[in-house]
Amino acid sequence: MNTARSDYDVVILGAGLVGMALAFALARHGFAVALLERSALAAFEGPAGAEDWDQRVYAVSPGSAEFLRGLGAWQRLAADRIAPIELMDVHGDGGGAIAFSAYELGERALAWIVENRALAGALVEIVRTTAHLDVLAPCEPTTVAWSADAARVTLADGRSLSARLVVGADGVRSWVRREAAIAREPQSYGQTAIVANFAAERAHRGRAFQWFVEGAGVLAWLPLPGRRISIVWSAPDALAQELLALDAATLSARVGAAGGAVLGELTLITPPAAFPLYFLRLSSVIGHRLALVGDAAHGVHPLAGQGVNLGFGDAATLAEVLGARGPVADAGAPILLERYARKRALPVLSMQIVTDGLVRLFAPPALKLLRNRGMRFVGSLATVRRLLAQPALR
């Protein structure tokens, strides 16, 4: 969109899922918002064919689904393209196991598996048609400069926008974060996630599986509608390259065997895609007229399927804090940003400790006996299972 306006309450850089959700949530509170994205948003659009499945899927928590419903995005998703996770079996690398059940936790689903294309498409439709919200995509921000009362973002085409608050929603390698001189860089896990979809011989019945495979990372099978599954294999980089080079039949056999053939034979239905994995923990997600959200604010390993859920939590919280600003007219007021940072500190830190802790716990061979015994013990205690599951649900 070409817009004549150049003065905003909030300029958000990055129209990923988190940036789009935040932009809409803020515009709905009456803030004048500009959403800047490097790529063309139209790339996400278009109906999917019946046998055309996006291999990029998310496990969306019930809490995030509620947030997205409140934005009007969840209702736009086709019900027959979403699958609930009703049960989840997690297996250690030496006989340890722990199972989670939505029924036991009083939930309809532990999470919902949703295609990236569908979720992004729903949010694109919303942000494109919202008052107080200008979408500038594609555009290339070149500089951002902060003064006492405002921030100014200039674009490669010469435009210049001012805002009371700049939000970095531009992913784990955030340009905004660097411009704000927050020096911390994401650390590689030395793993690459391979994602792909398969048709399974046997029905999954709403069950997800996860295996910590000795020396081979973490493999998750997530239910898709019908007898289909989506996998995320967070594999050591060398193994990931090996998996990517396999032909369809060999990759199917390899993934099926790694999961003990629990769903019979697998047949690859999408090409695999690869995502390098990073860990990022910042000491602060705010600065002068600056807030970071989503992967720009924290990088977590995908083994718990929580990255975008944490990002939606950031978006919901920042919108809630700014929306309830009372007599504070300035969207970049330190008191509001500090409130946002305080509210997000614990949920993000605890999720990072759990996910990163699990990655480290399952790395050294010397701890094999201990971790699998621990898993069996934890798995036998319903209350502990509940405590572990709660943060991931909301």
Ligand X SMILES: Cc1cc2nc3c(=O)[nH]c(=O)nc-3n(C[C@H](O)[C@H](O)[C@H](O)COP(=O)(O)OP(=O)(O)OC[C@H]3O[C@@H](n4cnc5c(N)ncnc54)[C@H](O)[C@@H]3O)c2cc1C
Residues that bind ligand X (CB under 6 A): 13-19, 36-39, 58-59, 141, 169-171, 175, 193, 195, 232, 275, 294-295, 302, 305-309, 311
Q: What are phi and psi of 90, to 5 degrees?
A: -115, 130
Name the strand (E) or helix (H) holding 255: helix 248-258
Closest separation in Å from C-beta 213 to ligand X: 16
Q: Both tokens of residue 292?
A: 């970071």
- Between CA 20 and CA 13 the distance in angstroms is 10
Q: How many CB atoms lie within 10 A of CB 215?
A: 10
Q: How many CB atoms lie within 10 A of CB 2?
A: 7
Closest separation in Å from C-beta 126 to ligand X: 15
Closest separation in Å from C-beta 326 to ligand X: 28
**Virtual CA dihedral for 179, 183, 186, 190, nearest 10 degrees?**
130
Closest separation in Å from C-beta 335 to ligand X: 25
- Between CA 308 and CA 73 the distance in angstroms is 15
Half-sphere exposure of 74 (CA within 13 A, CB side): 15
- Between CA 35 and CA 10 the distance in angstroms is 9
- Between CA 373 and CA 93 the distance in angstroms is 11
Closest separation in Å from C-beta 329 to ligand X: 27
138 cis-preceded (ω within 30 degrees of 0): yes
Closest separation in Å from C-beta 10 to ligand X: 14
